[in-house]
Amino acid sequence: MAQGLIEALTQALQRLPGVGPKSARRMAFHLLVRDRDGGRRLGQVLLEAMERIGRCSQCRNLTEQDICAVCSSPRRDHSLLCVVESPADVQAIDQASGFQGLYYVLHGHLSPLDGIGPEELELDRLTARLGSGEVHELILATNPTVEGEATAHYIAELARERGIRSTRIAHGVPMGGDLEFVDGGTLRQALLGRRDYGA
């Protein structure tokens, strides 16, 4: 049936975040009418990626290897460990900041109401990592949300018990932002975190 496969494609495209029925239909027709090569390429890469990309055995980030390129790099500072919630955070920090330490990806945050506790986040893996003696500073880069803060707090305690220094990324007014459009909570954090000018 004609409707069958086109409809199936339209449905499957809606598994993509932010894609509703209308844009899914537009995408399906675009590929079928104008870009079959693009459609074939996307199909192949999707199957290959879903099959071959797993999690790094050390940092839990997405990788095709057992140990990812970041963890296995000798040029990285292995005494600095930056904890983030998602692989997207690793990419954002690595592309923007020149950070040269290692990462640890939680794949989420503590959220008791959703039944996500330390076990669901496999925090025993992180605990074992902290016990190895290699990490000297743990940078808490979870999101500035209630759950992210609670998760940072919990993990800082794990570090403290092992005598490891933990730091939290700074919160404040975004660069290039206009003060009047910054929300109150951020402004409060920006004022609390103020530093000597010119220091």
Using CB under 8 A as the binding rule, whether residue 130 contacts its own copies is answered as no
118-150 burial, b for 16+ CB within 10 Å, e for fewer? Answer: eeebebeebeebbeeeebeebbbbbeeeebbbe
Q: Which residues ranging from 85 to 124 are in contact with its own copies (CB under 8 A)?
A: 86-88, 91, 107
Q: Contact region for its own copies (CB under 8 A) — 39-47, 127-135, 154-162, 188-196? A: 39-47
DSSP-based three-state secondary structure for 183: coil
- Beta strand 137-140 with 165-168: parallel, antiparallel or unpaired? parallel
Using CB under 5 A as the binding rule, whether residue 59 contacts Zn ion is answered as yes
Could you give phi then psi for residue 84, rounded to 5 degrees?
Answer: -130, 165
Q: Which residue has the tokens 């490891």?
A: 164
Residue 18-37 contact track with its own copies, rule CB under 8 A, x = bound: x----x-xxxxxxxxx-xx-
Q: Which of 48, 77, 114, 161 binds its own copies (CB under 8 A)?
A: 48
Q: Which of 68, 126, 130, 138 binds Zn ion (CB under 5 A)?
A: 68
Using CB under 5 A as the binding rule, whether residue 135 contacts Zn ion is answered as no
Which residue(s) pair with 62 in the sheet?
Answer: 55
DSSP-based three-state secondary structure for 92: helix
Q: Which residues bind its own copies (CB under 8 A)?
A: 1-6, 8-9, 12-13, 15-18, 23, 25-33, 35-36, 38-50, 52-53, 56, 61-65, 68-69, 86-88, 91, 107
